[in-house]
Structure 1
Amino acid sequence: MKYKRYCKQLSLKDEPELIARYKEAHGMGNAWPEITAGMKEIGILDMEIYILGNTLFMIMDTIADFDHDDAMQKLSKLPRQKEWENYVAEFQQTDESASADQKWQLMERIYEMDQSAVYDASSGQIKSLLEDRE
């Protein structure tokens, strides 16, 4: 199965109490179901967020024909998305009126083991499941 991978970065306000609350808001079972459903609806297959200090790193796997800009525009209009963005803006080191797409900055891949292609960050990286590579 082919899919696309996007990697993004965002900085939180460097305040331990806010960071703890942000982590709690994203803890197992705490993300709003409408937000997860909306991500799936636009073609996001899986998403992981990692933290180090106040830096967040996101891995977002999507359907193979995912158009990042179009999908983020659709996502911004789905139920409760604006409310969620307003809620998490309290924790983030960004303009509070920014959309999720403006907050989360796409990262450029500079290395991949056995790399066979180069991709622009906004185009995503075409990936295959490991089973498909064997």
Structure 2
Amino acid sequence: MQRFCQTMDLYDDPELIAAYVAEHDHVWEEVKEGFRTVGILDMQIYLYGTRLFMIMDTTDEFDFERDYTRLGTLPRQAEWEAHMAKFQKARPEDSPHEKWKLMKRIFKL
């Protein structure tokens, strides 16, 4: 298993942030199935103020560039990304792996 940690900022608007959180209570089934299809085993997103932090566990075979690109071609993925873009402080034309910034682990106990 591989683990990827990523971060992104939301717009500093309490109503938008609340709506973003609410959207994640009802992630579309096609989107969740797409994650599994490309080898994402588990995904968790945490929120602190406007900062998002994602932990993504994948299969050993998961290739970040290849499989994130493939994910974007699966049913409803592009639609979901466009739907989420209004909350995210990123360029709308950025792909998911460009919006979410990969973090480097600097410590492990």
TM-score bracket, normalised by the shorter chain, equals over 0.9
Q: How far is 1:101 from its partner? A: 1.0
- The match for 1:24 among 1, 22, 40 is 22
Q: d(CA) in 2 for partners of 1:53 and 1:99?
A: 23
Q: How far is 1:87 from its partner? A: 0.4
Alignment root-mean-square deviation, CA: 0.6
Aligned residue runs from structure 1 range 76-91, under 5 A = 76-91=72-87
Q: How far is 1:32 from its partner? A: 0.5
Q: d(CA) in 2 for partners of 1:71 and 1:11?
A: 23
Q: How far is 1:99 from its partner? A: 1.3
TM-score, normalization by structure 2 = 0.98
- The match for 2:91 among 86, 92, 95 is 95
- The match for 1:73 among 61, 69, 72 is 69
- Where does residue 8 of structure 2 map in the other structure? 10
TM-score, normalization by structure 1 = 0.80
- Where does residue 38 of structure 1 map in the other structure? 34
Q: d(CA) in 1 for partners of 2:95 and 2:30?
A: 17
Larger radius of gyration: 1
4+ aligned runs moved over 2 Å, structure 1? none
| SS of residue matched to 2:66 | helix
Percent identity (aligned):
45
Q: How far is 1:64 from its partner? A: 1.1
Q: Unpaired segments of 5 or more residues in structure 2?
A: none
**Counterpart residue identity of residue 55, structure 1:** R
Aligned length: 109
Q: d(CA) in 1 for partners of 2:20 and 2:94?
A: 17
Q: Unpaired segments of 5 or more residues in structure 1?
A: 114-134
